[in-house]
Amino acid sequence: MNFEQRIPREASARLFEEAQEYFPGGVNSPVRAFRSVSGPPLFIREGHGSHMIDEDGNRLLDFCCSWGPLIHGHDNPHIRERVIETVLRGTSFGTPNRLGNQLGKLILDNHRYVERIRFVSSGTEAVMSALRLARGYTGRNKIIKFDGCYHGHVDSLLVKAGSGLATLGTSSSAGVPETVARDTLVLPLGDRDLLERTLSEHSGEVACIIVEPIPANNGLLIQDRSWLECLRIKAWKHDVLLIFDEVISGFRVGFEGAAGLYDVAPDIITFGKVIGGGFPVGAYGASKEIMDYIAPVGPVYQAGTLSANPVAMAAGLAALEQCLAPGFYVEMAARTHRMATAIEAYARERNYPVHVPHVGSIFWLAFGTERIERADQIDAANMQYFKIIHHELLQTGVYLGPSGYEVGFVSSAHSETDLQEGVAKICAAMDVAFGENQTEKS
């Protein structure tokens, strides 16, 4: 297909060419490089509500929402005012501050599954710290993770499995020692028998099971509640800790995240994205007993110069206060459901192989008509369709994350008109990808 650029991208192209002189691949996070879609990455100048404006002046309806943190959209007035008020008093002190107390209290008062919390500066740091805590608490080294679940760029979790079986992990990134990777056991999602055999074979060696309860980094692989209940029971049976990585799902599908949605209690939860209100914040939490293993009261060391930075705490507090408004999550889920089902209905009418898994305010354009629960069910060849859809959407002013494996997000700033516009333009882009227009342009 000829990916004709029908909107100006000259300024973004110039900035990207310049950026390649400064940064590896011209970016500071790999997926931003637009390698799997068309054209240069867009350089965004500003964002307001449900829209962004790039350096060429293109106005874009945004369903990426900074990869999930912006549950209230861009330039939310309540967050903006709280941040400015805080910045005027200083940006960092390296000391405790009142805003950290307030955000911590707000979370603990409204989350049944956490008794103590520790703020850090990213989701990856939260996961890294949670793993160290689990190992320190249990005195064991091995961890179990699942193929299709991403937990940040932690060395011991940048591993992959072989042939869909439980294997000792092998590194999937240069720079990760095999000695580190070998302490990670990778299993396919949903295989209860293999999970039991693995825990039995490595009895007394496994510190924790870590899972995205709503896997949303390799497509949206929605799991049955029974699978999460199985993980909880197996962890209890074999005396290992269960970690829910809720960096995406936390405060996104409900204030208590997936733990609350499915009513399954993990031992440790990691948070990120929404918790920071658009600023770099992560956190991990657990019972008082487990968290008391963290320094300075316990032997597991973890620290951070900018942890609980007052500006980030102000933004997170302002964001989560709005999430506690009565009916907030019910309305967000209902609006996302209407959007997703409208796209699906259009696809069914025209026999396009597309369905739209969704939960809370998260959605994914999935290719094929069967439910996808595991990463190995995703046909990489179908990503050619996403490339076309993504390109067409940019030409008509809609922004999705630049990868078919990434999910989309609805924010409270998206009006019904915005969502109807999104449906219409996604459906038109599908016409190009699957209809006669694609044949004509190929």
Residue 338: strand, helix, or coil = helix
Residue 193: strand, helix, or coil = helix
Structure tokens at 116: 């103590």
- Residue 271 CA to residue 104 CA, distance in Å, equals 12
Closest CA to 403 of 149, 34, 68: 34
- Residue 201 CA to residue 215 CA, distance in Å, equals 26
**Which residues does 439 contact at the CB level (< 8 Å), separation at least 6?**
none
Closest CA to 388 of 429, 422, 421: 429
- The residue whose two tokens read 């006669």 is 436
Structure tokens at 6: 């029908």
- Residue 84 CA to residue 279 CA, distance in Å, equals 13
Give the N- to C-terminal CA distance of the chain in Å, as an integer: 4
Number of H helices, E strands in the chain: 14, 18
Task: Give me the amino acid identity at 251.
Answer: F
Pairing of β 59-62 and β 282-286: unpaired
Closest CA to 242 of 149, 164, 145, 170: 145
Active site residues: 150, 245, 273
- Residue 439 CA to residue 442 CA, distance in Å, equals 5
The radius of gyration of the chain's CA atoms, rounded to the nearest angstrom, is 22
Closest CA to 407 of 175, 139, 220, 272: 220
Task: Give me the amino acid identity at 428.
Answer: A
- Residue 119 CA to residue 99 CA, distance in Å, equals 12
Please report the DSSP string for 235-253 in residue order.
Answer: HHHTT-EEEEEETTTTTTS
